[in-house]
Each structure stands twice: as structure tokens, then as C-alpha cells.
């Protein structure tokens, strides 16, 4: 609201005073000095969203392991969504490295969501994970699969 008023000030002042930018500290002073001017409040839209950073993990790092696969994606929507992301290693199916540890760093605007393993796992050579986030305006993730080749 305050931002709307300030913008309106600048707009009015540029017309009234003929200068392009002039700041005013107090709306009441402005009204007093400009009794004939009608103030119309402007609409505003906040762009900032609450950022929740959440990390899902599974297993523990082991000697000799390394990142055998990674992946990331960023999506956003103007209306909050319930989103489901499926992550598979190896992406082409079959068997990959012996998996030790999985880390998935997520960013979303709500604190609603969960992740679960739907097949395979650490200690195996493949895994499928489903990550859900509810009522969120965006969903960013970066996933790291550690294993021993
Ligand atoms: C999205 O998730 C929320 C919270 O779990 C739920 O209340 C809502 O019904 C879901 N919306 C849809 C379209 O599934
Ligand atoms: C995934 O690994 C590639 C190199 O293989 C790297 O360029 C990329 O930045 C990595 N992605 C993330 C999210 O770390």
C-alpha cells in the first residue's frame, strides 16, 4: 500500500511541479499543500514469495563413491500447483553403479511435500524416487546420485 502511495506521489508531483522525480516524506503534508488534488490509490502486486529450501537424502557417503548422475530442473506457475517429479537412475533403465547416497535439494514456495523411493534403493544398482510438492508457485530441484562404479 505504502509503495502504491509513493508511486502515486511521484506521478502527481511530476505533473504538479513539472519536474520528473521529486520525493515526498509524508502523504499528510502533501494533502495539506495540495488540497484540490484527489489521491487515487494504485494497485500493487508483490513478487516476492516465501522460499522453502528442503533437502531429501537417503543412505550415507562411502569411501570411493562419487556422483554417478545428477539432474536439475526449474519450473514456476502463476497459480500454485501440486507437482510430482519422478527421478530414475539410471535414466535409461537397467543397472548402474552401486548406489550409496542420494541427495535432492528442492526449493518451493510452500512447506508441503515429501519424497519416497518407489523401486530399487541405496545398496542396489538402480532407484526410482518420486518427489511431491503441494501448493507451490515454483519447484526447483537439483538431484545427486552417489555410487561406486
Ligand atoms: C493439492 O494439495 C493440497 C494439500 O495437500 C490439497 O488440499 C489440494 O486438494 C490439492 N489439490 C489438488 C488439485 O489435488
Ligand atoms: C551435473 O553435472 C554436470 C557435469 O556432468 C554439471 O555441468 C552440472 O552443473 C551438474 N548439475 C548440477 C545441478 O550440479
- Residue boundaries of the structural domains of the chain: 2-33, 52-148
For residue 69, the CA-to-ligand 2 centroid distance in Å is: 9
Mean pLDDT for the stretch of residues 121-147: 95
Burial of 127 (0-12, 13-18, 19+ CB in 10 A): buried
Neighbours of 60 (CB within 10 A): 10
Ligand nearest to the CA of 105: 2
The secondary element (H helix, E strand) that includes residue 32 is helix 27-33
* Helix, strand, coil share (%) of the chain residues, nearest 5: 15, 50, 35
Of 131, 130, 64, 128, the closest CA to residue 100 belongs to 64
For residue 77, the CA-to-ligand 2 centroid distance in Å is: 25
Q: Which residue has the cell 509513493?
A: 6
Nearest CA to ligand 1 atom 12: 82
Rounded CA separation 50/11 (Å) = 31
Confidence check: pLDDT of 12 > 50: no
Q: Has this prediction a pTM greater than 0.85? A: no
Task: Choose the residue to mutate in 69, 70, 106 for probing ligand 2, maximizing ligand atoms within 8 Å of C-beta.
Answer: 70
Q: Is residue 55 classed as helix, strand or coil in its secondary structure?
A: strand
Confidence check: pLDDT of 38 > 50: yes
Whether 135 is in the pocket of ligand 1, judged by its Cβ within 6 Å, is yes
Of 87, 91, 89, 92, the closest CA to residue 125 belongs to 89
Mean pLDDT for the stretch of residues 44-73: 86
Whether 66 is in the pocket of ligand 2, judged by its Cβ within 6 Å, is no
Q: Which residue has the cell 561406486?
A: 148
Please give the mean pLDDT across all residues of the chain.
83
Q: Which residue has the cell 518420486?
A: 130
Amino acid at each position: 500500500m505504502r509503495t502504491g502511495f509513493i508511486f502515486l506521489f511521484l506521478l502527481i508531483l511530476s505533473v504538479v511541479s513539472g519536474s520528473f522525480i521529486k520525493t515526498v516524506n509524508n502523504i499528510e503534508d502533501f494533502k495539506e499543500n495540495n488540497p484540490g488534488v484527489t489521491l487515487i490509490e494504485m494497485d500493487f502486486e508483490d513478487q516476492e514469495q516465501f522460499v522453502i529450501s528442503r533437502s531429501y537424502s537417503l543412505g550415507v557417503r562411502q569411501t570411493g563413491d562419487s556422483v554417478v548422475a545428477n539432474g536439475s530442473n526449474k519450473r514456476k506457475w502463476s497459480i500454485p500447483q501440486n507437482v510430482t517429479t519422478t527421478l530414475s537412475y539410471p535414466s535409461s533403465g537397467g543397472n548402474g553403479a552401486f548406489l550409496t547416497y542420494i541427495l535432492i535439494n528442492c526449493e518451493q514456495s510452500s512447506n508441503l511435500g515429501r519424497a519416497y523411493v518407489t523401486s530399487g534403493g541405496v545398496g542396489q544398482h538402480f532407484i526410482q524416487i518420486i518427489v511431491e510438492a503441494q501448493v507451490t508457485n515454483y519447484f526447483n530441484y537439483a538431484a545427486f546420485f552417489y555410487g561406486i562404479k
